[in-house]
Amino acid sequence: MPSPPQSPPLAAYAVTSDELSPTHNKRRAGAARRGGAACTIAEECERLFCETLRTVFLGEGNVARQDSLALGMYDINNHDGHHNDSIAVSDDKKMDGSYDSGIGMPPSPPGSSLAVDYGFPQHQRGQVGQWIEVWDYVGGARFRGFVAGDGDDKAMFVFFDSEATVRDLKPGLMALIELCGLDEFECARLNVCLDRKAPAEDMRGLMKDLGWIGFEPVTLAEWAEKPPIVSDAWVLLGMEV
């Protein structure tokens, strides 16, 4: 699994709606690229798309890559059961320290249990509104995904690759559910995409565990204008959050 982007959090601050405006994003994107702080989350997420997902969410016949700047990092710190949430901007300094040999995770910021890189497409294409990359320092897992839709139909899609079936996903799942409710995302649903190439026994166990939480099998019917509505690479499970 590739190592994470080499750009650490610089400082925590509150992001205003003005700072998240398209005009501000474009200015930030230009400055960040010149400083070397830009991270292309979109390319890594799109790499996980099968042909069905690409057709439904990115537009049929459009294979051009969609660039995305990682605007910041959302840290969830857990001290004695209490969460302290913040958003940090990436700086152009390089990260020092070693990576976890199992998943290639960056060193955890002090007191941080989870970090989320997120970006907005510079040019809207298809139904994707945001790209995300989640680092779970507790469970030792990484999740990539995207946000699509608007209002009550807005949903977060997260990919669980074959390695996810053998990791402790509980901390990451709880964090993902919490992320859906944040102002930066405001998702009504959380959909997880399970890798069909995962061992069958591991897949059955994971689906059973997710079912106990409230996840149910879903299709792409509400997103697709025409068939196919089932991915040949991913099994989709969803729940309202």
Query: In angstroms, what is the C-alpha Rg of the chain?
Result: 17
**pLDDT tens-place string over residues 75-93:** 544 434 443 333 222 222 2
DSSP symbol at 164: G
Which residues in 58-71 are b (16+ Cβ under 10 Å) and which e? beeeeeeebbbbbb
* List of residues 6+ apart from 142 with CB closer than 8 A: 1, 4, 103, 104, 105, 133, 134, 135, 136
Sorted by where each begins, the domain ranges of the chain are 9-240
Q: How many CA atoms lie within 13 A of 27 on its CB side?
A: 6
* Residue at 228: amino acid letter: P
pLDDT value at residue 164: 77
| Burial (CB count within 10 angstroms: exposed 0-12, middle 13-18, buried 19+), residue 182 | middle
Query: 197 or 104, which is more confident?
Result: 197
| Amino acid found at 85 | D
Distance CA 241, CA 83 (A): 19
Residue 160's nearest CA partner among 96, 234, 105, 229 is: 234
pTM higher than 0.75? no
Strand pairing report for 155-160 and 189-195: parallel
Rounded to whole angstroms, the Cα distance separating 165 from 7 reads: 28
Q: Which of 69-73, 160-164, 172-176 has the lowest mean pLDDT?
A: 69-73
By CB neighbour count within 10 A (0-12 exposed, 13-18 middle, 19+ buried), where does 77 fall?
Answer: middle
142-159 pLDDT, tens per residue? Answer: 889 999 988 888 999 999
- Average pLDDT of the chain? 69
